[in-house]
A and B are shown apart, each in its own frame.
Chain A
Amino acid sequence: MKKLISLLLCVAMLVCVLAACGTAKEEVTEVTEEVVEETTEPLVYDGVELVYWSGHVAGTPAAVVLEELAAEFKAETGCTINIQFKGNERRQIMPTALESGEDIDVFDSAGFYELRTFDPAWIMDLTPYYEESGYAEKTYGLMIKDLTDNSPEGGLPGVVKTPGMNGLWYDKAAIAAAGITEMPKTFDEFEVMFDAILETGVAPLSLDSAYLAGFFGTVLQRHCGQDVVRELSLNGGWSENEGAIAAAQRMIDWKAKGYFVDGAPDVFPASQNKIALGLSTMVNCGVWVGNEIETAMGVDIDWGFTKFPILDETIDANVDSAYSSYIHVNETCNNPDAAWDWLMKIVTGDGDKRYSDAAMTPPADKTNEALPDFDGTVEYLDSVEVCLDVNCAVANADMKAALTDVMTQIFEGKYATGLEAMQAMDALYN
């Protein structure tokens, strides 16, 4: 009996090991049979197979749409797209895979900050395809500029896949209940709105510790300019900068006035979820936050988006948050024409509409209409001239945690004045 139990346990362990060692490889084998039967001539990319490393997780709505698009692409062109969903691990494992020469034809990147770290040998310049197709007219000029500016060797090393922005996402119903009909623009106007919201018994702002450095970084950027903030982060001098002191003082005042919901800054995602509980009205975050809150709390919120407040028109007036993930074609791709057509299938027209709706982001093709929760985002993305680096305040890789700690203490109410807070920042550089 004991031997039988041992044998069964061994079999169970073996099965678990084999299952755990399996890859997340997703192979698209479905073909629309009707189309195949009717076609008598070979399709343009018959026999071609492209390996695509996607940053999505298999089974998510966006991943399902990608699989559907791949099946349609195969039916239309004969090209098989072998999608491998790597999820969040993609960023860590992809450089090694590309360097070792693994067969990857098309791959995602998280944005221009990741693009900067790529080896030029991994990326094909797609400029000829851009010129031939006129693709640049369909997407956002700033993101194409970011592609070029951050390309390891110049040119156009990819296409825009999932645009997004950081800003204030608010519960329209809660804002309307406070009698707000038009969203403010400047910090002073926001404070008037916050006072009106407080009158309704609700806190204006949620703030989670995970996004605190980005939030305060944006406040600093508005008061000093992002190049100055980056320089302060790298070399110190916070307490000598009037803008930085003023930014810290404003946040200390906001905390004292009760503009942040009780418990803020809280551990992610406790504070942002309070919007769903009717305890708060808005949060500064990326495009994903609405879907994140609704999924976590099981509620449906009518979301609105507005830009982060500005100080005045003289400091970084044309700088705002706008970014995108990209898709790239490997320099060693076995069929660049097929790869380009596959990219266009995802990021333009109906494919982009379906994909961006599933991914809960604004469309990459600006001729598409965004979901109601992203009303106005296409126009906003098209209007941004210079991209804001929300993490400019923690650009120093060796003291990121230390700087974030001091920023957290500002929102915990530890410092009486902005000067005191900035002196604490400077103390880190000694």
Chain B
Amino acid sequence: MKKSKTFIACFIVPCLIVLAVTYFYPVARTLLMSFFKTGSVTAPISTWTFAGLTNFKRIAMSPDFRQGLVNMLKIWIIGGIFAISLSLLFAVILSHKNIRGKHFFRAIVYLPNVISAVAIGNAWLYYVYNYDFGLINTVLGWFGVEHIKWLGPDLKFGAMLAAIIFGVVGYYMMVFIGGIERIPEDVMEAATLDGANAWQKLTKITLPLLKGTTKTIMTFWTIVAVQSFVWTKVFSPITTESSTIVPISYMYEILFGSLQSPEVDIGTGAAVGVLVAIIIMIITSVINRLFKTDDLEL
């Protein structure tokens, strides 16, 4: 078949134009804006005032941003361990041949994923964690235990993290199940014939062969951890709190102002976006190095 460069260009150019306008231009503009002071997001570049690293210095000095960064890393590390472990556990159990009703249980575990984060967050807030009438305190009351303030400043972060994990486990479980079901059966049969027990099969065969899947899920989880703005707003409506603030919610307040601090600082908001993007790139490259999949052979 004769190649036609013109034909190829006709197909690629529209896509490139859309990509440039909707992706490259905003990214480049945001990067540039992070070094300037400007009155609004859409102000012409000619009206910007060069500020050098002032915006980045402001972020570095901001206790709220630093706390947001700490919260985000805690969500990624602690939440990641629990989310991925739980979803892997459910996947291993519910991909076993002899489990009755496994399709039903898969659907139940996956169900929170089809409900919006706002609905899940509010359900946890008002029905599970409520100090007077919540599920947990009601059950604790049956055993004579005093009501616990799950949404107090000390426990609120953990409460929010539990709700986030509840919302994502189902989806990651399904991805793991897909990975497990792709493992050839003859490999498992050979291991069984060689006398391997369930634990050995899990640790020596299943987990190594799930490296690629685990890498994918860690990437998804990184995005969830960075973009936990919705959860922050559900658990801390109206005002931001140290226990739930993340860099994106700090950026939101800086970009749009708030009742408490109406002044906006677009350049600093852009700088937060740039920093968060750099953090994601670093984390992703660490994940890629840790989970190299080219050393496996079947």
Using CB atoms and an 8 Å cutoff, list the residues of chain A in contact with chain B: 91-92, 95-96, 99-100, 110, 113-114, 116-117, 119, 209-213, 262-263, 266-268, 270, 391, 394-402, 404-405, 408-409, 412, 428
Asked if B285 CB lies within 8 Å of chain A CBs, one says: no
Nearest CB of A to B8, in Å: 30
Q: Tell me which of A262, A396, A405 contacts B153 (CB under 8 A).
A: A405
Q: A270-B130, A409-B153, A412-B152 are in contact. Are A117 and B257 (CB under 8 A)?
A: yes
- What string of 1s and 0s marks CB contacts (under 8 Å) between B25-49 and chain A? 0000000000000011111000000
| B58 neighbours in A (Cβ, 8 Å) | 398
Q: Which residues B229-280 have CB closer than 8 A to chain A?
A: 235-243, 245, 253-254, 256-265
Asked if A402 and B259 sit within 8 Å, CB to CB, the answer is: no
Question: Roughly how many angstroms separate A409 CA and B153 CA in the complex, as a whole number?
Answer: 8
Q: Tell me which of B62, B149, B242, B260 contacts A394 (CB under 8 A).
A: B260
- Write 9 A-B pairs (CB below 8 A) sorted by A numbering: A91-B256, A113-B257, A117-B257, A263-B131, A266-B131, A267-B129, A397-B254, A398-B62, A402-B64
Nearest CB of A to B128, in Å: 12
Asked if B63 and A399 sit within 8 Å, CB to CB, the answer is: yes
| A268 neighbours in B (Cβ, 8 Å) | 237-238
Question: Roughly how many angstroms separate A117 CA and B256 CA in the complex, as a whole number?
Answer: 10
Asked if B12 CB lies within 8 Å of chain A CBs, one says: no
Asked if B114 CB lies within 8 Å of chain A CBs, one says: no
| B39 neighbours in A (Cβ, 8 Å) | 119
Instruction: Return the chain A residue nearest B68 by Cβ.
Output: A401
| A91 neighbours in B (Cβ, 8 Å) | 256-257
Nearest CB of B to A301, in Å: 19
Nearest CB of A to B124, in Å: 11
Asked if A405 and B259 sit within 8 Å, CB to CB, the answer is: no
Q: Tell me which of A100, A212, A398 contacts B65 (CB under 8 A).
A: A398
Q: Which 5 A-B pairs have the closest CB atoms?
A: A398-B62, A397-B261, A405-B242, A210-B238, A113-B262
Q: Tell me which of B42, B61, B152, B241 contacts A401 (CB under 8 A).
A: B241
Q: Tell me which of B43, B62, B132, B239 contacts A404 (CB under 8 A).
A: B239
| B40 neighbours in A (Cβ, 8 Å) | 95-96, 99, 119
The residue among A92, A95, A96, A212 with the most chain B CB atoms within 10 A of its own CB is: A95
Question: Roughly how many angstroms separate A212 CA and B63 CA in the complex, as a whole number?
Answer: 19
Question: Roughly how many angstroms separate A209 CA and B149 CA in the complex, as a whole number?
Answer: 13
Question: Roughly how many angstroms separate A100 CA and B42 CA in the complex, as a whole number?
Answer: 8
Asked if A267 and B125 sit within 8 Å, CB to CB, the answer is: yes
Asked if B64 and A209 sit within 8 Å, CB to CB, the answer is: no
Besides A96-B41, A117-B264, A405-B243, 19 other A-B contacts (C-beta < 8 A): A96-B40, A100-B42, A119-B39, A209-B241, A210-B238, A211-B238, A213-B260, A262-B131, A267-B151, A394-B260, A395-B261, A396-B261, A398-B61, A401-B63, A401-B67, A401-B241, A402-B63, A408-B241, A409-B153
Q: A117-B257, A397-B253, A399-B64 are in contact. Are A213 and B262 (CB under 8 A)?
A: no
Q: A95-B40, A99-B43 are in contact. Are A401 and B242 (CB under 8 A)?
A: yes
- What string of 1s and 0s marks CB contacts (under 8 Å) between B170-206 and chain A? 0000000000000000000000000000000000000
Instruction: Return the chain A residue nearest B243 by Cβ.
Output: A405
Asked if A400 and B262 sit within 8 Å, CB to CB, the answer is: no
| A399 neighbours in B (Cβ, 8 Å) | 62-64
Q: Tell me which of B126, B151, B243, B259 contacts A391 (CB under 8 A).
A: B259
Q: Which residues B101-156 have CB closer than 8 A to chain A?
A: 125-126, 129-132, 147, 149, 151-153
Asked if B256 and A412 sit within 8 Å, CB to CB, the answer is: no
| B259 neighbours in A (Cβ, 8 Å) | 110, 113, 391
Asked if A400 and B253 sit within 8 Å, CB to CB, the answer is: yes
Question: Roughly how many angstroms separate A405 CA and B129 CA in the complex, as a whole number?
Answer: 20
Nearest CB of B to A33, in Å: 43
Nearest CB of A to B4, in Å: 33
Nearest CB of B to A233, in Å: 10
Nearest CB of A to B129, in Å: 8
| A396 neighbours in B (Cβ, 8 Å) | 261
| B261 neighbours in A (Cβ, 8 Å) | 391, 394-397, 400
Nearest CB of A to B222, in Å: 23
| B62 neighbours in A (Cβ, 8 Å) | 398-399
| A394 neighbours in B (Cβ, 8 Å) | 260-261
Q: A96-B40, A99-B43 are in contact. Are A210 and B63 (CB under 8 A)?
A: no
Asked if A404 and B131 sit within 8 Å, CB to CB, the answer is: no
Question: Roughly how many angstroms separate A332 CA and B257 CA in the complex, as a whole number?
Answer: 25
Instruction: Return the chain A residue nearest B151 by Cβ.
Output: A267
Question: Roughly how many angstroms separate A112 CA and B197 CA in the complex, as a whole number?
Answer: 71
Q: A263-B132, A397-B253 are in contact. Are A402 and B242 (CB under 8 A)?
A: yes
| A100 neighbours in B (Cβ, 8 Å) | 42
Question: Roughly how many angstroms separate A96 CA and B152 CA in the complex, as a whole number?
Answer: 37
Asked if A117 and B260 sit within 8 Å, CB to CB, the answer is: no
| A110 neighbours in B (Cβ, 8 Å) | 259
Instruction: Return the chain A residue nearest B249 by Cβ.
Output: A401
Asked if B256 and A92 sit within 8 Å, CB to CB, the answer is: yes
Nearest CB of A to B52, in Å: 18
Nearest CB of B to A221, in Å: 14
Question: Roughly how many angstroms separate A390 CA and B42 CA in the complex, as a whole number?
Answer: 31
Instruction: Return the chain B residue nearest A95 by Cβ.
Output: B40
| A391 neighbours in B (Cβ, 8 Å) | 259-261
Q: A113-B262, A117-B257, A397-B253 are in contact. Are A270 and B64 (CB under 8 A)?
A: no
Question: Roughly how many angstroms separate A396 CA and B260 CA in the complex, as a whole number?
Answer: 9
Nearest CB of A to B140, in Å: 14
Nearest CB of A to B262, in Å: 4
Nearest CB of B to A90, in Å: 11
Nearest CB of B to A264, in Å: 9
Instruction: Return the chain B residue nearest A150 by Cβ.
Output: B262
Question: Roughly how many angstroms separate A397 CA and B42 CA in the complex, as a whole number?
Answer: 22
Question: Roughly how many angstroms separate A401 CA and B63 CA in the complex, as a whole number?
Answer: 8
Instruction: Return the chain B residue nearest A405 by Cβ.
Output: B242
Question: Roughly how many angstroms separate A99 CA and B152 CA in the complex, as a whole number?
Answer: 42
| B254 neighbours in A (Cβ, 8 Å) | 397
Q: A119-B40, A270-B131 are in contact. Are A395 and B241 (CB under 8 A)?
A: no
Asked if B42 and A96 sit within 8 Å, CB to CB, the answer is: yes
| A212 neighbours in B (Cβ, 8 Å) | 239
| B235 neighbours in A (Cβ, 8 Å) | 267
Nearest CB of A to B150, in Å: 9
Instruction: Return the chain A residue nearest B261 by Cβ.
Output: A397
| B260 neighbours in A (Cβ, 8 Å) | 213, 391, 394-395, 397, 400
The residue among B61, B147, B242 with the most chain A CB atoms within 10 A of its own CB is: B242
Q: A210-B238, A401-B242 are in contact. Are A117 and B262 (CB under 8 A)?
A: yes
Q: Tell me which of B65, B237, B253, B264 contacts A210 (CB under 8 A).
A: B237
